[in-house]
Amino acid sequence: MQHMWLSLLSGLCLHLVFLCSAEEGLEFPNFDGKDRVMDINERNYKKALKRYDLLCLFYHEPLPANKGLQKRFQMTELVLELTAQVLENKDIGFGMVDSQKDVKVARKLGLEEVGSLYVFKDDRVIEFDGELSADTLVEFLLDVLEDPVEMINNAMEVRFSIKLIYFKAFQEASERFQPYIKFFATFDKSVAKHLSLKMNEVNFYEPFMEEPAIVPGRPLSEIDIVEYVTQHRRATLRKLRAENIFETWEDDMDGIHIVAFAEEEDPDGYEFLEILKDVARDNTNNPELSIVWIDPDDFPLLTTYWEKTFKLDLFRPQIGVVNVTDADSVWLDMSNDEDLPTAEELEDWIEDVLSGRVNTEDDDESADEPENPDSYITEDSDEIHDLDEGDNDDNYN
Amino acid sequence: MQHMWLSLLSGLCLHLVFLCSAEEGLEFPNFDGKDRVMDINERNYKKALKRYDLLCLFYHEPLPANKGLQKRFQMTELVLELTAQVLENKDIGFGMVDSQKDVKVARKLGLEEVGSLYVFKDDRVIEFDGELSADTLVEFLLDVLEDPVEMINNAMEVRFSIKLIYFKAFQEASERFQPYIKFFATFDKSVAKHLSLKMNEVNFYEPFMEEPAIVPGRPLSEIDIVEYVTQHRRATLRKLRAENIFETWEDDMDGIHIVAFAEEEDPDGYEFLEILKDVARDNTNNPELSIVWIDPDDFPLLTTYWEKTFKLDLFRPQIGVVNVTDADSVWLDMSNDEDLPTAEELEDWIEDVLSGRVNTEDDDESADEPENPDSYITEDSDEIHDLDEGDNDDNYN
């Protein structure tokens, strides 16, 4: 049975091989059927930890009795097998830890969440909380293989020895956040000047901000840096990415997310994103505000699901509030406007969201709010169902 | 048999469902097992063409006798089935045309290349020559569904009737290139002024160029525009994209590609890309030059394959010449430099490539060239094998 499953995996990365047989240089990998993922147990886990630069362990429930779940389980194994094959020359070990049979090993290794993937690098454990596809996992592991601090410019050798002690705190802090938060360093005066970076100073760039914040305190210890980054890592505007999609979604604000859809490659989407950035810059010090920006181009398989769930046309930019427990949502009505909202209009709307004036629970009570009942699309209203269908017909021809 | 294959497909998009069961809003699709892809034949092809906004036909060889190829074939079907499911509410038909059984239908529809996927929209046929994964195909079809000309700003209604006749030529030209080349129009004076666009003028923006070229002639006919775009569509710097990866790779320059690897999100990669753009801008009028830029982040499953085939470290930016018939290659040695090459140095190297002084056939004769034997890495040299391994050890820890 195992082998049949293995050969199937080739389909995970099936491409138009017929067309390019005459040309070389673009060979998408097909799984070769060789077992590379270990069954981890008490006898072999220590050896595995020592042997590889990285050890990547999938912590799973025992093989389920249900056939559908069994297949899903085997496909997980195959995603790991293909990843292992693609990264074969990189000194990464792959293994499975059974939450029932290997309960002792799991406790010793600190594995907690069943269904999670843990990466061991040196004495650190990094949890992978992204889309479990071979693409995303390969990219993630290649990022983890790199040094956690990247040097800007190579003039470092000259001065490296002088800065070693101070630099160590920075480097050790960086290891806590790899690969999710990038750490850069420079030992080059001109680079530092260009970045307005003072000696021994750590600047923190929040995504989409033009000006960095200066991490307070000097000299900075590892703990200072770790605490600052932990406290500030949830950005005012954060992009949804495959590599940590579930982590981001779980990090909601009191059960809701403010979600903005904008295609960066589309003129309207690009403009809307610029407005979002302005809003984020104006509100960077508001810890209550974090907007999740989704570029639909990054998640083609989710696009129609989102359109259906949220009753939206994703050919246009959108912004709304989503309740993460039931996916109930409310969206800013931008359909009748010729222009996108200004940053000020968007800030007014966001203020309404944060104050609770706009929320996902008022759908049925919208008649009770005399102020401006038509200005928000609520997903449960029949009126909107009809509108949606009309819109679709116009757009999709 | 069919059903087992169908249920397997769920693995094509397997995700950490265990983790996010408490939260809603991120449901990656699992194939539901329902057949949506039609078997196209002489009796039903006309009806299918009429019935849908888009008809998407896979033109294939008869089911092979070889079991491995059979599985691959079935996986293609399943990619189409998942795509059909995800796009279910979009009025797109999906079908298979057998190159042996349905030879007459294929001739009538103008299907030529076995293994290709053809999309019928109105009276046009668009060939898909990209990565045959559900992700890429869904995104491609969503692009094809859109209008081929996108309006910038919505003040168009006012003046639309006046410009209709002239605009028609532009719109019809746009249909020939959808979705590969984007067409935009505006009827808004301020937008036009901002773009320095004169009335009834068509500007052509080559990728990565700051200034557009003005398509010559006025009034422009559909044919004028089509001819100009056809002649200029191969950009001086073009990005490799999943949606037309094979088309780009097949469009080589006398059997070679100049290939540049640069990660846009990496500081070194970003800087190198800026240099490449400078070079492209300086040489935009040289029809001999077209550099294929590959961002390794876009193709995680190919990264290690490329590293192995070209003997490269893709954690760093690279540029080289690849012979597409045998994937033989020669790369500019940037490993000993602290800084990336300047635009001028890169142009000198490109000149050497275009003149044939640097080429993939000289590997064994490098000793005969006394000028500067060490300045290029050639893939067959043992010396480089050792260098590569050394590099890897340093980088991957």
A76 in contact with B, Cβ within 8 Å: yes
Phi, psi of B15 (to 5 degrees): -140, 170
**What pLDDT is recorded for position A276?**
96
- If asked whether residues A286 and A309 sit together in one domain, one would say yes
Of A103, A130, A145, the domain-final residue: A145
At B319, list the tokens: 């540029």
Instruction: Check pLDDT > 50 for residue B2.
Output: no
- pLDDT at site B1: 29
Please name which of B1, B5, B4 lies closest in space to residue B75, comparing C-alpha atoms: B5
End-to-end CA distance of chain B: 47
Could you tell me if A191 and A218 lie in one domain?
A: yes
DSSP assignment letter at A210: S
Q: Is B257 found in the same domain as B194?
A: no
Does one domain contain both A340 and A327?
yes
Residue B185 has pLDDT above 70, yes or no: yes
CA–CA separation, A185 and A126 (whole Å) = 22
Least confident segment among A336-340, B264-268, B344-348: A336-340
**Average pLDDT over chain B, rounded to an integer:** 80
Say yes or no: B293 and B185 in one domain.
no
Instruction: Kindly report the pTM of this predicted structure.
Output: 0.75
What is the ipTM score, two decimals? Answer: 0.71
Q: Is residue B306 part of a domain?
A: yes
Q: Which residues are B185's β-sheet partners?
A: B151
- The pLDDT tens digits of the residues spanning B116-168 come to 899 999 888 999 988 888 889 999 999 899 888 877 764 443 344 344 456 77
Asked, for residue A78, whether it belongs to a domain, the answer is yes
Q: Are residues B264 and B197 in the same domain?
A: no
Residue B86 is predicted with a pLDDT of 92
Phi and psi angles of residue A54, each rounded to the nearest 5 degrees, phi first: -125, 140
Using the beta-carbon criterion (under 8 Å), do A338 and B154 form an inter-chain contact? Answer: yes
Residue of A9, A14, A138, A270 to mutate, interface with B, max B Cβ within 10 Å: A14
Q: Considering the domain boundaries, does residue B376 fall inside one?
A: no
Tell which A residues from 11 to 70 touch B, by Cβ distance under 8 Å: 11-20, 22-29, 53, 61, 68
B133 and B141 Cβ atoms separated by less than 8 Å: no
Looking at B145, B161, B196, the residue that finishes a domain is B145
Residue B248 and residue B286 in one domain? yes
**Per-window interface: A 318-337 vs B, CB < 8 A:** 322-327
Same domain as A173, residue A125:
no
Q: Is residue B289 part of a domain?
A: yes
By the 10 Å C-beta count (0-12 exposed, 13-18 middle, 19+ buried), B288 is classed as exposed
- Domain membership of residue B63 as a residue range: 38-145
Name residue B253's beta-bridge partners: B256
Give the gap in angstroms from C-alpha B323 to the nearest C-alpha of chain A: 8
In chain A, the number of structural domains is 3
For residues B82 and B163, state if they share a domain.
Answer: no
| Inside any domain, residue A362 | no
Asked if B302's CB is within 8 angstroms of A14's CB, the reply is: no
Of A15, A18, A267, the CB nearest to B150: A267
Token output for A352:
């309404």
User: How many CB atoms are located within 10 Å of the residue B344 CB?
Assistant: 12
Domain end: A217, A232, A247, which one? A232
> Best mutation site among A52, A92, A133, A264 for testing chain B: the one with the most B CBs within 10 Å?
A133
Two structure tokens written together for B69? 């190829």
Question: CA geometry: angle at B226 spanning B223 and B232, to 5°?
Answer: 135
Residue A167 lies in a domain: yes
Mean pLDDT of B304-308: 90
Residues A226, A251 within the same domain: no
Give B-chain residues touching A150 at CB under 8 angstroms.
266-267
Interval A337-366 mean pLDDT: 82
CATH number at residue A272: 3.40.30.10
- Looking at the fold, whether B87 and B100 belong to one and the same domain comes out as yes
Of A215-219, A296-300, B361-365, the range with the lowest mean pLDDT is B361-365
A153, two tokens: 């410019």
pLDDT band at residue B372 using 50, 70 and 90 as cut-offs:
very low
At residue A337, the pLDDT reads: 59
Q: Is residue B364 part of a domain?
A: no
Residues B121 and B157 in one domain: no
DSSP A329-353: EEEE--SS-SSPPPHHHHHHHHHHH
Domain-embedded: residue B25: no
